[in-house]
Amino acid sequence: MLKNVAFCLTLFIIAFSCSSEDDQSEEVNSIDPTESLISKNTTQNNESVTISFNREEMLAFWADSIIVPSYKKLTADLAILREQIIELNENATQEKLSVIREKWLLAYKTWQHVEMFNVGKAEEIYFLSHMNVYPVNEDRITTNINLGEYDLENPNNYATQGFPALDFMLYGIGINDDEILEKYQVVDSNHYKYLIDLIDKMISKSTIVYEDWQTFRDEFVASSENTATSSINKLSNDFIYYFEKGLRANKFGIPAGVFSVNKLPNKVEGYYSRSFSKVLALESLDAVKNFFVGNAFENESLIGKSFQAYLSHLNTDANNVGLGDDILSKLALAVEKVNELSDSFVTQINNDNTAMLITYDSIQAVVVLLKVDMLQTLNINVDYADADGD
């Protein structure tokens, strides 16, 4: 017993001396020009400066360089899309339709960068539900169009609006483009009115969220504590939730039949346009990677503090030192798998669902790292586990 204690003490001392070396290496890292730019409260105590991670800086980077610019781009993209849609009313030509489709896809791709930020106003006004609920409810859309009267605020109408509904209106209301254009040939047709109502609703919702960020930004950045409702924790939860549900389940798992006895290809994202499900999924994976690494939205080469830096700060001496790199390499593997799929997931699922399932598994491997290793490392207070601990 005594021997054991002596052994333990020795090891303790060794461990202790190792850890002070870690502190020194951190000190080197923190001599970083960006540090002094943003950190407002410079502490006199050197020790706590070297060892602490500037969370406000991370939140400010998220807000100023990723979230707000992507919302800005989204509202701009939607405005461009609207201009084209308006012209369709008097000029329902194949060319116009093609331009509208192109602008729709651009905005939809931008949306992939925004969907994960379900905080602040976005959460309050159910932004996501107004923008990207799929599959759409075709019958209900048809009824809405025929009646010419509908309340897009009604939750029952979530599956009749947003990008998926535009997808239906631009690709799905006829068996070919002539038949689709026919619906818009009459000026102020019900179809046209529905289309314009959809884009107006999307613009108004996006604008509300974007404009709210002008004031919400400071509150967001200041909320760096560790509580169930603080910015870091909410966004970390949102990020992981998005990856698991919005990306893994919605884009891959559900249509591939992972959660059902049979495969469900009609549940892919961008079902009616057929050929964009892969583009959208890749865009979404790219958005996830950028946010994780901390690539600025408008200039990917500008790298700020985000999860990767945060994890390597927290993991300096745990066994899980390379977690950030592990996540990125698993993510890269998943992207590789997605790249092998055909442009249309509908085709892919119908012809070779096994490849789809293999891709799903490679995405699932990332979920494990996010939900177990990353959550464990972040040690954030999650809102759901509401009970006393031991």
Partner 1 sequence: MNLKTYLENDYTDSSKLAVFRIMFGLLMFYSLARFWSKGWIKTLYIDPKFHFKYFGFDWIQSLGDSTYLLFIICALSSLFIALGLKYRISIIIFFVSFTYIELIDKTTYLNHYYFISILSFLMCFLPANRFYSLDNYLSQTTCEKIPKWTVDSIKLLICIIYFYSGLAKINSDWILKAMPLSMWLPSKYDLPLIGSILQLKWIHYLMSWGGMIYDLAIPFLLINRKTRLIGFILVVIFHLLTKALFPIGMFPYIMIFSAFIFFDSSLHHKIINVINIFLKYIRQSLPKIETIKIIQFKTNRSQYYLKYLLIPFFIFQLLFPFRYMLYPGELFWNEQGYRFSWRVMLIEKKGYTNFKIIDSISKKAFYVENSDFLTAFQEKQMSFQPDFIIEYAHYLGDHFKGQGHKNIQVFADSYVGLNGRSSKRFIDNKVDLYKKNESFKHKKWVLPLNDEIKGF
Q: Which residues bind partner 1 (CB under 8 A)?
A: 8, 11-12, 15-16, 19-20, 22-23, 43, 45, 47-48, 51-52, 55, 224-227, 230, 253, 257-262, 314-315, 317-320, 323, 326, 364, 367-369, 371-373, 375-380, 384-390
DSSP for 69-93, please give it: HHHHHHHHHHHHHHHHHHHHTT---
Q: How far is the CB of 167 from partner 1 (least distance, A)?
A: 26
Contact 222, 357 (CB under 8 A): no
* Closer of 197 and 326 to partner 1 (Cβ): 326
Closest to 39 (Cα-Cα) out of 184, 224, 213: 224
* Closer of 5 and 147 to partner 1 (Cβ): 5
Contact 115, 128 (CB under 8 A): yes
Q: How far is the CB of 29 from partner 1 (least distance, A)?
A: 15
Q: How far is the CB of 383 from partner 1 (least distance, A)?
A: 9
339's CB contacts (< 8 A; 6+ apart) are 282
Q: How far is the CB of 125 from partner 1 (least distance, A)?
A: 24
- Rg of the Cα atoms in the chain: 24
Cα→Cα distances 310→19, 51, 305, 314, Å: 18, 12, 7, 6
* Closer of 187 and 387 to partner 1 (Cβ): 387
Tokens representing 308 are 């990767």
Cα→Cα distances 298→76, 151, 282, 294, Å: 14, 35, 18, 12
Return the SS3 of 199: helix
Contact 54, 39 (CB under 8 A): yes
Closest to 69 (Cα-Cα) out of 217, 198, 205, 288: 217
d(CA 245, CA 248): 6
**Residues across the chain:** 390
CA pseudo-torsion sign 205, 207, 209, 215: negative
* Closer of 195 and 327 to partner 1 (Cβ): 327
Count the neighbouring beta carbons within 10 Å of the beta carbon of residue 38: 16
* Closer of 78 and 369 to partner 1 (Cβ): 369
Q: How far is the CB of 8 from partner 1 (least distance, A)?
A: 6
* Closer of 181 and 258 to partner 1 (Cβ): 258
* Closer of 154 and 319 to partner 1 (Cβ): 319
Q: How far is the CB of 226 from partner 1 (least distance, A)?
A: 5
Q: How far is the CB of 318 from partner 1 (least distance, A)?
A: 4
* Closer of 19 and 339 to partner 1 (Cβ): 19
Q: How far is the CB of 36 from partner 1 (least distance, A)?
A: 19
